[in-house]
């Protein structure tokens, strides 16, 4: 645009200059009365003025063309440029329409892409959720499988135990039957015995021993029966022809006592482990008669390892010594006894001390040690934690006492916090 204005301004100025110069040249030539080609002076002045104007115009145009590339282009290619301009304008309009159409399509594609991205995000979240659910399900299946295996093992163990209990029940039924027969026999033969002193009660333990199948089983069994016989002899039982104050209640089909002893020895040998043999009275027996006995067998397994915590309680050491002693005895007869039952320890039936089924505090030395525990509790003058620990390995055939137990005394957490 600036070049067009410059060209027009220059053209106007040059036109004015040509008019002025032509008029000035015409007057001078008219005054001098010059002639050219035989023309009259007046006509000569007109011709010269015209030619001069043309020369000046041509010179001016040449200078402008030489100095402006845009002017040369416009003069040489003006019509072509105009046509190209019209074509480019039309092309530009067409491109604008295409651009608008592409922009519309781009917007549509963008919206579809956003929708697809949103769907992909939702699908990814759903996949992650599905994977998490799958992991949880797999973990649950694993736990259920483990639980099922445990239940199956417990079921098999319970089934084996049930079968064992059924066998024991059959054996007990047979024994009860034999005991009944034996009792009838003794009542008939020794009716007068009811007026005599009872030296042993029914189911009372007379003697117990541990027999190893690797040794001479029958010899050890006979030695245990002889010990039981001596114990009952000291209480006033009578020794008949077999030389013992006790007689084994016979099993069905085994009349001779030697046959019953052989059968019991074979059963002990079949255990392939230490066996606890308990000789107990089959019924109440009185002074002067032979005591019928039954033999019970148990595996002598380990009940507590050395250092095991057996039971614990809290006792107030600020109370009187009598109260502390009663609390300690109650703890021993209650909690320690319950722990022994849970460990399958073999109880001892003692009619003189029913609470001492699994252990007792007897003898001056053990009583002194027990009172020493009471003094240790009293020294704290407050609430203390009392824990019974296994001083050594304890098997089910043993009785718990201060010889194999240890009392650990410590201040309770609440008492320690109050003191702090």
335 and 415 housed in the same domain: yes
- Boundary of a domain, candidates 18, 46, 67: 67
**Residue 80 lies inside a defined structural domain of this protein:** no
Beta carbons of 381 and 411 less than 8 angstroms apart: no
DSSP β-bridge partners for residue 247 = 292
309 and 267 housed in the same domain: no
Higher-confidence residue: 231 or 363? 231
Buried b (16+ CB within 10 A) or exposed e, 276-313: bbbbbbbbbbbeebbbbbbbbebebeebbeeeeebbeb
Poorest-pLDDT segment among 7-21, 200-214, 336-350: 7-21
Taking only the tens place, the pLDDT of each residue in 112-162 is: 888 888 888 888 888 888 888 888 888 888 888 888 888 888 888 888 888
209 and 286 housed in the same domain: yes
Taking only the tens place, the pLDDT of each residue in 347-402 is: 876 665 555 545 555 556 667 777 888 898 888 888 999 999 999 999 888 888 87
277 and 330 housed in the same domain: no
Q: What is the pLDDT of residue 349?
A: 65
Q: What is the pLDDT of residue 228?
A: 92
Statement: the pTM of the whole predicted model exceeds 0.85: no
Q: What is the pLDDT of residue 26?
A: 67
36 and 50 housed in the same domain: yes
**Residue 291 lies inside a defined structural domain of this protein:** yes
What are the residues whose beta carbons fall under 8 Å from the beta carbon of 400, sequence distance 6 or more?
310, 336, 340, 345, 358, 359, 394
Residue 239: both structure tokens together: 């020794």
Residue 59: both structure tokens together: 């010179």
**Residue 205 lies inside a defined structural domain of this protein:** yes
CA distance 287 to 238: 8
320 and 377 housed in the same domain: yes
**Residue 364 lies inside a defined structural domain of this protein:** yes
272 and 363 housed in the same domain: no
User: What is the sign, positive or negative, of the torsion defined by CA atoms of 196, 200, 203, 207?
Assistant: negative
Poorest-pLDDT segment among 25-29, 46-50, 241-245, 393-397: 25-29
401 and 316 housed in the same domain: yes
**Residue 117 lies inside a defined structural domain of this protein:** no
**Residue 412 lies inside a defined structural domain of this protein:** yes
DSSP code per residue over 52-115:
HHHHHHHHHHHHHHHH-HHHHHHHHHHHHHHHHHHHHHHHHHHHHHHHHHHHHHHHHHHHHHHH
295 and 308 housed in the same domain: no
Q: What is the pLDDT of residue 79?
A: 72
How far is residue 130 from each of residues 122, 127, 141, 144, measured CA to CA in Å? 12, 5, 16, 20
Q: What is the pLDDT of residue 186?
A: 56
- Give the pLDDT band (50/70/90) at residue 34: low
Q: What is the pLDDT of residue 420?
A: 43
**Residue 167 lies inside a defined structural domain of this protein:** no
Cα of first residue to Cα of last residue in the chain, in angstroms, is 100
CA distance 297 to 272: 13
- Identify which of 62-66, 243-247, 360-364, 413-417 has the greatest average pLDDT: 243-247
Q: What is the pLDDT of residue 418?
A: 47
Q: What is the pLDDT of residue 419?
A: 44
Higher-confidence residue: 223 or 44? 223
Which DSSP helix (H) or strand (E) runs through 17? helix 2-32
Beta carbons of 199 and 287 less than 8 angstroms apart: yes
Task: Answer yes or no: is pLDDT of 194 > 80.
Answer: no
Q: What is the mean pLDDT of residues 24-41?
A: 68
**Residue 122 lies inside a defined structural domain of this protein:** no
CA distance 287 to 186: 13
How does the average pLDDT of the chain come out, rounded?
81
For residue 237, give the 3-state DSSP assignment.
Answer: coil
- Give the pLDDT band (50/70/90) at residue 183: low
User: What is the sign, positive or negative, of the torsion defined by CA atoms of 169, 165, 212, 283?
Assistant: negative
Q: What is the pLDDT of residue 138?
A: 87
- Boundary of a domain, candidates 47, 67, 87: 67
296 and 196 housed in the same domain: yes
375 and 401 housed in the same domain: yes
CA dihedral 335, 341, 342, 346 (to 10 degrees): 140
Nearest of 284, 119, 127 to residue 193 by alpha carbon: 284
What are the residues whose beta carbons fall under 8 Å from the beta carbon of 224, sequence distance 6 or more?
207, 208, 209, 211, 277, 279
Poorest-pLDDT segment among 75-84, 103-112, 308-317: 75-84
Residue 55: both structure tokens together: 């020369």
CA distance 39 to 42: 8
Q: What is the pLDDT of residue 215?
A: 76
Higher-confidence residue: 11 or 250? 250
Taking only the tens place, the pLDDT of each residue in 40-76 is: 776 777 777 778 778 777 877 787 777 777 767 776 7
CA distance 255 to 266: 17
CA distance 214 to 402: 31
287 and 317 housed in the same domain: no
Percent pLDDT > 70 in the chain is 81
- Give the pLDDT band (50/70/90) at residue 181: low
CA distance 364 to 348: 21
Say how many residues make up the chain: 420
Nearest of 415, 356, 354, 359 to residue 383 by alpha carbon: 415
Taking only the tens place, the pLDDT of each residue in 279-320 is: 999 999 999 889 999 999 998 888 899 999 999 999 998 898
The domain tally of the chain equals: 3
- Boundary of a domain, candidates 300, 323, 344: 300
DSSP β-bridge partners for residue 302 = 395
Task: Answer yes or no: is pLDDT of 240 > 70.
Answer: yes
| Structural domain that includes position 22 | 2-67
């Amino acid at each position: 645009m600036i070049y067009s204005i410059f060209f027009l301004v220059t053209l106007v100025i040059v036109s004015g200059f040509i008019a002025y110069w032509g008029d000035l040249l015409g007057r001078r030539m008219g005054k001098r009365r010059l002639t050219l080609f035989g023309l009259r002076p007046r006509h000569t002045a007109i011709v010269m003025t015209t030619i001069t104007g043309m020369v000046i115009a041509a010179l001016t145009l040449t200078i402008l063309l030489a100095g402006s590339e845009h002017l040369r282009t416009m003069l040489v290619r003006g019509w072509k440029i105009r046509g190209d301009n019209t074509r480019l304008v039309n092309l530009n309009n067409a491109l604008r329409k295409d651009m608008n159409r592409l922009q519309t399509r781009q917007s549509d594609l963008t919206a579809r892409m956003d929708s697809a991205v949103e769907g992909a995000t939702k699908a990814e979240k759903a996949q992650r959720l599905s994977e998490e659910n799958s992991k949880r399900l797999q973990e649950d299946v694993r736990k259920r499988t483990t639980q099922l295996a445990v239940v199956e093992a417990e079921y098999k163990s319970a089934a084996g135990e049930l079968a064992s209990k059924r066998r024991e029940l059959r054996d007990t039924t047979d024994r009860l039957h034999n005991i009944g027969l034996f009792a009838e026999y003794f009542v008939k033969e020794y009716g007068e015995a009811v007026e005599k002193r009872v030296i042993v009660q029914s189911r009372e333990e007379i003697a117990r021993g541990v027999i190893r199948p690797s040794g001479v089983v029958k010899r050890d069994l006979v030695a245990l029966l002889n010990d039981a016989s001596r114990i009952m002899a000291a209480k006033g039982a009578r020794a008949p022809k077999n030389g013992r104050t006790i007689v084994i209640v016979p099993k069905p089909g085994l009349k001779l006592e030697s046959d019953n002893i052989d059968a019991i020895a074979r059963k002990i040998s079949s255990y392939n482990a230490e066996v606890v043999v308990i000789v107990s009275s089959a019924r109440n027996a009185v002074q002067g008669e032979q005591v019928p006995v039954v033999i019970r067998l148990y595996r002598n397994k380990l009940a507590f390892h050395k250092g095991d915590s057996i039971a614990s309680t809290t006792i107030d050491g600020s109370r009187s010594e009598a109260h502390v002693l009663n609390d300690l005895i109650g703890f021993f007869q209650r909690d320690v006894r319950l722990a022994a039952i849970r460990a399958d320890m073999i109880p001892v039936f003692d009619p003189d001390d029913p609470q001492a089924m699994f252990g007792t505090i007897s003898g001056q030395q053990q009583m002194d040690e027990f009172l020493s525990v009471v003094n240790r509790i009293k020294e704290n003058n407050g609430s203390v934690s009392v824990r019974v620990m296994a001083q050594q390995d304890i098997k089910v055939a043993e009785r718990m006492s201060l010889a194999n137990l240890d009392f650990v005394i410590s201040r309770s957490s609440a008492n320690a916090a109050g003191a702090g």
